[in-house]
Chain A
Amino acid sequence: MDQFLQHLVNGTVLGATYALLGIGLTLIFGIMKVVNFAHGELYAFGAYVAYALVSLLQMDYFVALVLAAGLGLLLGAAIEFLLLRRCRLENIDEVMLIMIGVMIIMQNAELLAWGGVAKVVPTPFPQESIIVGGIYLSPTRLFVLGAAIVLLLAFYLVIERSRLGLAMRATFQDEDAARIVGVNVSRIYTLTFGLGSSLAAITGALLAPVFVVTPTMGDLASLKAFAIVILGGLGNIRGAALGGFALALIEEFGAAYISTAYRDAIGFLVILVVMIARPQGLFAAKERVG
């Protein structure tokens, strides 16, 4: 039973960060119809920002978190402004390939700059786990969980309560109608891409002290983010949040009770099964397919 609860807790912590990763990707897809293959690279970018600031420049970890989010926002906005703006009306496949090009460039730039050796980011929290009722809780992971939940709530408030969120939702529903009522759609696109990228970058920075930082970490992050948004239905933000928790729990329990070796394959199996059984995603009532 303790074992079960331990996996539940680990899965929930991981799930909160998966949810952050997923909503960034699904936001970009929902509003811009762009499948962002560079999403995982922005996650890796955030982790490297944390490494550079905390490990190399001895800066405070919390300052590094804020800076990672800020730099992620700028980088995402720059990618949108410089590349995607040129081909917004082109077909979705070409935009996907452009994002793959961005992914290749970013990943290899990281490899060139930092080398292939995994980097460690020290945690500002005590190393000893807190034991509650037989369950081990590491303070770092608790902080990650807390921060992720705060970010999820903040994101929810931005989308549901702010004028920016209103404009985003309007663009999501009908781009032309949004333009007619005075929404600057181009600016919404840039902000959307920046915001989604920022979420990926801060997730990377949050998880940097939990895992190690490597140039290829973005690959798996991208693919898991895809699994999450497929679970939730592409473009469905609430679905992506739930999908993040669902994938993490499936992975955690799958690894614990079925096979550790295939842990990372579980996400893809989930995608294949969802596609066969319910292509619109598990949590969507109405969603276009194809």
Chain B
Amino acid sequence: MIMRRASFLIIVVALALLPVLWPDPYLLSVVAAAGIMIIAAISLNLLLGFTGQLSLGHAAFFGIGAYTSALLSLGFDVDLGFSSPLVVEPKPVWVAFAGGIVMASLFGWLLGKVAFRVRGAYFVIVTISFAQVMRMVALNWVDLTEGPMALVSIPPLSLWVPGDGVVRLVSKAATYWLVLAAGVLAYVIVANLVRSRIGRAAIALRENEVLAKSIGIPVTRCLIVFSVLSAGIAGAAGGLYAHTVRIIDPDVFLFIYTITMVIMVVAGGKGTLAGPVVGGLIFGLLPEVLRGMVAPEVQWMIYGALMILILLFMPKGIVPAFGRVLKRRKISVRRRPSASQGASS
């Protein structure tokens, strides 16, 4: 356990030093962009990996977080059919960011309520439909979202730094550190969650839902808790995207982004903590590697082919495959409570 925590810290410190050791703005922005997708993948892993529910509407939470955070920070007025339009003044950026997380969590709760009435193929189709409806709303509710014209000039996040006062986080290095900090936070939250009581309950229900129910696990409540948290983290990733890229359009809701997150989780290893990070680094950086070599269509075809090959020949993903070599233990129901308390303290 100490080894594990030490190696975690070493990796984090090494990543934090990257802008100092290799201050290439292009590299930093590429890694930061991959980092945002990794946070989204970490959140998807909560549902896909730990509860075993294949949610294919995850881009919706990312988009809801991005749009809510952007709109709150820009301010908006919208006519809802009452006598006077609803006017919202621009809010401080961090308040807007928190608002995005809250809104995404709310939708996570709502979708959980509806979608967890069914399982399997039905669940998948409900989640896809949800994301599609959200995309149509973003595209067509032009009064609020500007539709395909996109939301522009979204303010960046800012931070009070001793000595410098409040700085706007716009430089490549600052963006990189921001994403890294958020990523580490998301990782730690998820790591503690899945080792907690409810996390073990979720894993139990993934393994055998009927059995889990029979020993008194409130299956639906457990799934909804995971759905809310997963949506909240995805919403945070969306907010980060909105305030770092500073322009968003309805394309953030595209199915292909959900698929990118799914590929990251499945390739890395669903149900493992490191899986989405490893898969996310590979599939987040691969486009940059391939960019100069092949057309974007070919790049996507390679993605599709890789996904099929991984599913056929390495269905558990990269991390478990290598973990077996290194004799690392995967988090499973078998982990004793004492070990989990040690991890969460």
A residues sitting closer than 8 Å to B (CB atoms) are 29, 35, 83, 86-87, 90, 92-94, 96-98, 100-105, 107-109, 111-112, 219, 223, 226-227, 230, 234, 259, 261-262, 264-265, 267-269, 271-272, 275-276, 279, 289-290
Chain B, residue nearest A90 (CB): B315
- Interfacial chain B residues near A264, Cβ < 8 Å: 132, 136
Separation of A269 and B133 alpha carbons in the complex (Å): 7
Q: Given A108-B297, A108-B298, A262-B136, decide whether A98 and B121 contact each other with a Cβ distance below 8 A.
A: no
Separation of A92 and B311 alpha carbons in the complex (Å): 12
**B122 and A87: CB pair below 8 A?**
no
Name B32-68 residues within 8 Å CB distance of A: 52, 54
The distance from the CB of B327 to the nearest CB of chain A, in whole angstroms, is 26
**A261 and B140: CB pair below 8 A?**
yes
Q: Is B259 an interface residue (CB 8 A)?
A: yes
- Interfacial chain A residues near B117, Cβ < 8 Å: 275-276, 279
- Interfacial chain B residues near A109, Cβ < 8 Å: 297, 301
Chain A, residue nearest B312 (CB): A86
Q: Which of A87, A96, A219 contacts B312 (CB 8 A)?
A: A87
Q: Given A87-B312, A98-B311, decide whether A92 and B304 contact each other with a Cβ distance below 8 A.
A: no
**B133 and A268: CB pair below 8 A?**
yes
Separation of A181 and B119 alpha carbons in the complex (Å): 32
Contact flags (1/0) for B94-119 with A, using CB distance below 8 Å? 00000000000000000000110111
User: Which A-B residue pairs are the 8 nearest by beta carbons?
Assistant: A290-B119, A104-B304, A265-B136, A268-B129, A101-B308, A105-B304, A112-B297, A108-B297
Q: Which of A87, A104, A107 contacts B311 (CB 8 A)?
A: A87
Chain A, residue nearest B308 (CB): A101
Q: Given A87-B312, A90-B315, decide whether A272 and B259 contact each other with a Cβ distance below 8 A.
A: no
**A234 and B129: CB pair below 8 A?**
no
Q: Which of A107, A267, A271 contacts B126 (CB 8 A)?
A: A271
The distance from the CB of A26 to the nearest CB of chain B, in whole angstroms, is 11
**B311 and A35: CB pair below 8 A?**
no
The distance from the CB of B299 to the nearest CB of chain A, in whole angstroms, is 8
Separation of A97 and B310 alpha carbons in the complex (Å): 11
**B128 and A226: CB pair below 8 A?**
yes
Q: Is B30 an interface residue (CB 8 A)?
A: no
**A290 and B118: CB pair below 8 A?**
yes
Chain A, residue nearest B131 (CB): A268
Q: Is B262 an interface residue (CB 8 A)?
A: yes
Among B136, B262, B304, B312, the one with the most A-chain Cβ atoms within 10 Å of its Cβ is: B304
- Interfacial chain B residues near A108, Cβ < 8 Å: 297-298, 300-301, 304
Q: Which of B114, B119, B295, B315 contacts A94 (CB 8 A)?
A: B315
Q: Is B178 an interface residue (CB 8 A)?
A: no
**B54 and A262: CB pair below 8 A?**
no
**A104 and B259: CB pair below 8 A?**
yes
Chain B, residue nearest A104 (CB): B304
- Interfacial chain B residues near A226, Cβ < 8 Å: 125, 128-129
Separation of A262 and B121 alpha carbons in the complex (Å): 25
Q: Which of B54, B129, B297, B315 contacts A227 (CB 8 A)?
A: B129
Name B206-220 residues within 8 Å CB distance of A: none
Q: Which of B124, B130, B305 contacts A96 (CB 8 A)?
A: B124
The distance from the CB of B314 to the nearest CB of chain A, in whole angstroms, is 11
**B124 and A35: CB pair below 8 A?**
yes
Additional A-B contacts beyond A29-B121, A35-B124 (20; CB < 8 A) = A35-B125, A97-B262, A98-B311, A100-B307, A101-B308, A104-B303, A104-B304, A105-B300, A105-B308, A109-B297, A109-B301, A226-B128, A261-B136, A267-B129, A268-B129, A269-B133, A272-B126, A275-B115, A276-B114, A290-B123
Separation of A142 and B119 alpha carbons in the complex (Å): 40
Chain A, residue nearest B113 (CB): A276
Separation of A35 and B54 alpha carbons in the complex (Å): 13
Q: Is B177 an interface residue (CB 8 A)?
A: no
Chain A, residue nearest B120 (CB): A290
- Interfacial chain A residues near B124, Cβ < 8 Å: 35, 93, 96
**A96 and B301: CB pair below 8 A?**
no
